[in-house]
Amino acid sequence: MAKDVLSVLDLKDSLELLIDNAIKMKTGEQGQKKTVKKLPLSDAEVVLLFEKPSLRTKASFAVAVHQLGGRAVYMGSEEVQIGKRESASDIGKVLSRYFDAIVYRAFSHKTMLELADAASVPVINALDDHEHPCQILGDLVTIKEKKGTLKGLKLAYIGDGNNVCNSLLLGCAIVGMNISVASPSSYRPKAEVVSEAEKLASNSGAKVEIGTNPFKAAENADVVYTDVWVSMGQEAEKEARQKVFMPYQVTEKVMGKAKPDAIFMHCMPAHRGLEVVADVIDGPKSVVIDQAENRLHAQKAVLLYVLA
């Protein structure tokens, strides 16, 4: 059976191990060319199948595969046209005959599941409309790197209850981090995800809070996190969303509610003057560039998890 990573839940029993492995690879204790005679993914072939454009996800996976000794082939939407030119099922079956793993960036989680169900090799979710598990692995790597621990910390997520928010809820609950989400009432994270996060939190000792007040969410937070208000595919809603979300802009006043040593995070791309002001994202509390770098080390940990 292929070991898919379609959700943070697929990493539930291994999440903290993957976080630690990513940190070790970053510091050179394993997985680096200078310390390993034969690279762990020598001769592995990985396809990057992307319906959506990407900077960090595409670059970090391509470099990760290379550093681990494998080869990555990129295929964009214009080449594949999933669901138009060919079905997701057929594509999953065919690519499984050529590659050892499929890294898939999709518009629809339903299509993600269809392709993974048909594929006979591991499928890694590089983003869909339901979750972004690899992003959250990199985020947790960054938080542990900066804070030394995860359990008992508080993360405040302010903004759209989107795929990143869904994965943060699950990831924080698994590792024992408290998470407080502040979103407009009509843009809250999915109820089924919140319910699952609450179940996980009851086992890890974490707290899950869902509300509408960004200042309350940020109180005593160790981490303040936001994301774009308008994701790819939502361009027609841009004006309406900006009006609704403007009270959720992360400002210095919002950061002032968090702990004095709190860090600011954003999965990027970022829009200064919208979801966050420049003084915050470009200020001393921002770790967004380190966060982006850690996607590389997180991707290596995920690739080793499914292939090595």
Contact 149, 223 (CB under 8 A): no
CA distance linking residue 258 with residue 260, whole number of Å: 6
CA distance linking residue 185 with residue 187, whole number of Å: 6
Strand partners, 75: 49
Q: Of 134, 227, 241, 249, which residue is the catalytic one?
A: 227
Q: Of 109, 266, 295, 297, which residue is the catalytic one?
A: 295
* Residue 266 phi, psi dihedral angles, 5° rounding: -155, 130
Q: Of 10, 129, 267, 291, which residue is the catalytic one?
A: 267
Strand order in the sheet with 71-76: 71-76, 45-50, 101-105, 123-125
Active site residue 20: no
Q: Of 67, 135, 249, 299, which residue is the catalytic one?
A: 135
Residues of the chain by 3-state class (helix, strand, coil), percent to 5: 45, 15, 35
Task: Please state, as a whole number, how many other Cβ atoms lie within 10 Å of the Cβ of residue 7.
Answer: 21
Contact 74, 50 (CB under 8 A): yes
CA distance linking residue 84 with residue 69, whole number of Å: 34
Q: Nearest-5° angle of CA 290, CA 291, CA 292?
A: 90
The H or E element that residue 64 is part of is helix 56-67
Q: At what angle do helices 133-147 and 163-175 cross, to 10 degrees?
A: 50
Contact 162, 231 (CB under 8 A): yes
Active site residue 295: yes
Phi-psi region of 220 (alpha: psi -120 to 50; beta: other; left: phi over 0): left
Active site residue 242: no
Active site residue 227: yes
Question: Mind telling me the catalytic residues?
Answer: 105, 132, 135, 227, 267, 295
